[in-house]
Amino acid sequence: MGWSGRGVALVLVAGVAVAACGEPDGPADAAPSSVAVRGCDPESPLVPAHTGESCGGQVVDQLFSKLIRYDPDTAEPVFEIAESIESDDNQTWVITLRPGWTFHDGQEITAHSFVDAWNWAAYAPNGAMNSRFFQPIEGYADLQPDGARRGTEITPDMVSRTEMSGLRVDDDLTFTVTLAQPEAAFPLRLGYAAFSPLPQRFFDDPESFGDAPVGSGPFEFVEWVRGSAITLRAYDGYRGDTQPQIDEVIFKIYQDDTAAYSDLQADNLDIMPYLPSSALADGAYISDLGDRFVQRDSLVVSKVTFAPEEVDPSVADPRLRQAISMAIDREAIIASIFHGTREPATGWVAPGVEGYQTNACGEYCTFQPEQARALLAAAGGYDETLTLTYNADGENKPWVDATCNSISNTLGVECVGVPVPDFGAFRSKINARKVGGMFRNVWQADYPSIESFLGPVYGTGATYNDADYSDPEFDRLIDEAAGSKGDDAIAAYQHAEQSLAQGMPSIPLWYMSTVAGYSTRISDVKITPFQTVDLLSVTLR
């Protein structure tokens, strides 16, 4: 049985799923059973605890197995390494592993493989980006320093423990997780990469591991040529219920979507998970590709996020942020740039998860020129140049320019797009708090729950809170939701989302509908609800 994000689920039926979301030589130069996928440069080394963006995530998800995976059609969780995940009270969870699973180097996967990996990620001196995903576990706070500011180096003497009290190894195949408070939906998160097991090789040398990782997933690492390609091959020892049907996958790294699409048409690229807007115009991709495309809605929201107040105080006034949001003509931009393949966003949670609500943002996410100008005046106006920063290795410039034009024409404020060469550099600047004004920010759910769109993004000190947003009422509602069940939990999450309209840390723009294309060489291509490729379903013609 699966989790819907509403109530408790104690046991899942083992099943099949995959979750994923320069121009090098094409697949003609690779093995006959090799499939080339459009990729991009990861921000961080290929370590689950350090990977929180789509460029690295699409690779890490193939390299590492988790306790569960998500069905590529429905996003429902199904067992992978776990045999059972059980609780009587939603606070103490007993996790039993399926025997016989190994890492790619042959080491057996045991309860210690999970407990040691989770403790390493949670231990603040290790600096893991995904540390806060372990916050619900009892004893997490003991691994964190008191009052350390962002950017401060955290040393072992600043924390009181190295392991969480809420993790206990019972035997080789069983461990117990005790949470700080009951959370019915906790197991739903366990298919996210941060919860992957790690081999002893990682702990021996964490620094070099990310350049040549040893995982446990359906594909194992071969090579990473930065700026060019990441190559993986099928792992013969993978014990999942569905085996890879291809021998090799190459994530080809492009700096330009147009070049990637040209390669797709020429069969030099096999899968492009999202097509450029030029291909979407007037349905050009249909004449270009015939029936070789997949279209589906995704658990993705495209936004622009405001810089933290400490970085750029000029955009700190919520009334200014609301005015900018109301100055964006989403429908016109979707029609002219995306050719109708997006839907205007009315909130921060994407359709497709339980608890999604329309109009959570209210009037602030509608095009209201007069009200926008009135709010701008109430905020004292804006005399500076408003910037919208984006990564130039994706097809972002057209919509960025259109968004800035809408803001400028409505508010009389100069707005300009600021490109950063590639995604890795773009995310690095954001993480270093070196981007002012606004910046592109697409949020892809990590797991199929309303909570994934809220707590990790807008909670005080949360892992992906790029705006450094902090609102005690939002935090209270998130905590209330985590400790509640059923309709009470959903209602608290919905109230938390509605509260974001008052502080407006980011501007929801549109919900994503994915149109992917593939070559004549392959078939059975599936795009998951997470906007990633299900590589276990791909077959060669």
Rounded CA separation 60/285 (Å):
29
Tens-place pLDDT, residues 177-221:
999 988 888 999 999 999 999 999 999 999 999 999 999 999 999
The yes-or-no verdict on residue 512 having pLDDT over 90 is no
Identify the pLDDT of residue 416: 98
As given in the structure block, the two tokens for residue 471 are 């609102």
**Radius of gyration for the chain, computed over Cα atoms and rounded to the nearest angstrom:** 23
Average pLDDT, the chain: 91
CA distances from 439 to 419, 454, 471 (A): 10, 18, 21
Helices of type H across 293-396: 318-326, 330-337, 369-378
Average pLDDT rounded to a whole number, residues 393-417: 96
Q: Which of 272-281, 284-293, 299-308 has the lowest mean pLDDT?
A: 272-281
Amino acid at 423: F
Exposed / middle / buried, residue 47 (Cβ in 10 Å: 0-12, 13-18, 19+): buried
CATH H-level superfamily of 27-246+519-540: Periplasmic binding protein-like II (3.40.190.10)
Strand positions, DSSP E, 139-288: 167-171, 174-178, 219-225, 229-234, 248-253, 271-272
Tens-place pLDDT, residues 11-35:
343 333 333 333 344 444 445 689 9
Instruction: Tell me the whole-structure pTM to 2 decimals.
Output: 0.82
Average pLDDT rounded to a whole number, residues 511-534: 93
Helices of type H across 368-420: 369-378, 397-411
Rounded CA separation 409/135 (Å):
44
Identify the pLDDT of residue 10: 36
Tens-place pLDDT, residues 217-247:
999 999 999 999 999 999 999 999 999 999 9
DSSP letter, residue 241: S
Q: Which residues of 403-418 are buried (b: 16+ CB within 10 A; e: fewer)?
A: bbbbbeebbebebebb
Identify the pLDDT of residue 1: 24
Identify the pLDDT of residue 9: 36
* Domain span(s) for CATH 3.40.190.10 in the chain: 27-246+519-540
Cβ–Cβ < 8 Å for 150, 94: no
* Domain span(s) for CATH 3.10.105.10 in the chain: 298-513
DSSP 153-180: PP-GGG-S-SS-TTEEEEETTEEEEEBS
Identify the pLDDT of residue 7: 30
Identify the pLDDT of residue 20: 34
Tens-place pLDDT, residues 29-65:
445 689 999 999 898 899 999 998 889 999 999 999 9
Name beta bridge partners: 219. 234
Q: How many CA atoms lie within 13 A of 293 on its CB side?
A: 23
DSSP letter, residue 533: B
Identify the pLDDT of residue 27: 44
Residue 148's pLDDT band (cuts 50, 70, 90)? low
Architecture category of domain 298-513 in CATH: Roll (3.10)
Measured in whole angstroms, how far is the alpha carbon of residue 187 from the centre of its chain? 18
Tens-place pLDDT, residues 328-380:
999 999 999 988 889 999 999 999 999 999 999 999 999 999 999 999 999 99
Average pLDDT rounded to a whole number, residues 133-150: 87
